[in-house]
Amino acid sequence: MEFWREVATGFVGNVAAGVVLVIFWFATQWFLAATDIVIGYSWRFDGDFRNPHNLRPSFDIRNRSRSKTYYLANIAYLVDHKPVAKFDNKAIWGTELKPGTITYVEGAPVVAFASLDACLKSGVHVRLQNGREFWLKGQGPGQLRTGRTQRLAFWLRKKIESAAVPME
C-alpha cells in the first residue's frame, strides 16, 4: 500500500506543479498584453480657443512590445457607452505600430462636436485590428489615461526592466 500512496502523491504533486506553471504563464501573458500599448491623446482644433472648429483627436501611441507589431482599426466617440458621433474608420485604419516605437496619429475632424466641452465630456474608443479596445476619457489636454491595475502593471514592468540584464 505504501508504494501506491507514493505514486499517487508524486502524480498529484506533478499535476499541481504543472497547473501552477500554466497559471504563471497565463499571468505573464496578461501582464505583457496589459502593458505593451499606451495611448495618450489630446484635442486639436483650427481657429482660436474662443471659436474652435474642426475638432479632432491627436493620439500619442507607444508600442512598448519588443516583438509584436499592431495595426490600428478605428475610433469610436461615446458618452455613457452610446455613440455620439460617426465611427472614424478611415483616419487611422491600417496604421502600423512597430515594436518599440512612438507613433503620432491624428484623427479626422468630428462633425458632431462643436465645442471643446463636448469633446472633454465624450469618451474615445481606439480599436486595434485584432479586436483589442482602449477606452480613453478626456480630462484635459494630453493625459496618458490608465486604470489602477494598469498603473500597477506599468510600475512592475518598469522595476523588472530596470533590474534586467540586457541580452543585446
* Per-domain boundaries in the chain: 1-35, 37-144
3-state DSSP assignment of residue 49:
coil
Task: Give the residue from 32, 125, 127 showing the smallest Cα distance to 71.
Answer: 127
* Mean pLDDT (the chain, rounded): 84
The string of pLDDT tens digits covering residues 73-128 is 999 988 888 888 888 888 889 999 999 899 999 988 888 888 888 888 888 889 99
Distance, CA of 137 to CA of 122 (rounded, Å): 7
Residue 72 confidence (pLDDT): 93
- Give the architecture-level CATH label for domain 37-144: Sandwich (2.60)
Exposed (0-12), middle (13-18) or buried (19+): which is 154, by Cβ within 10 Å? middle
